[in-house]
Amino acid sequence: MMRLILTIFAVGLMAGCASQPAPAPQPKVNLSGYPLEFRQGYADGCASVNAARKRDEARFKSDANYSTGWRDGYSICKPR
């Protein structure tokens, strides 16, 4: 009986270690009223949170809508 309890306990521990928590879902944001440049920057900023930075440096420096969108996307999608 004790062996059965220990086996069930060990299996439970192994099952708990095998699973990983799911990444936090990305917030659903309606960007339909914003300019295309802002939306593209937002998408790049949000994508930069979980991967290598995705940013068009030339546009970031020269296009205010793109850079504002990138900053907003990065800060809103960043886990807290």
Tell me: the pLDDT tens digits for 35-75? 999 999 999 999 999 888 899 999 999 999 999 999 999 99
Three-state DSSP at 20 gives coil
Contacts made by residues 7-12, CB under 8 angstroms, sequence distance 24+: none
- Averaged pLDDT for residues 7-18: 65
Q: What is the pLDDT of residues 14-42, one digit of tens each?
A: 666 555 555 545 557 889 999 999 999 99
Q: What pLDDT score was predicted for residue 27?
A: 57
Q: What pLDDT score was predicted for residue 46?
A: 92
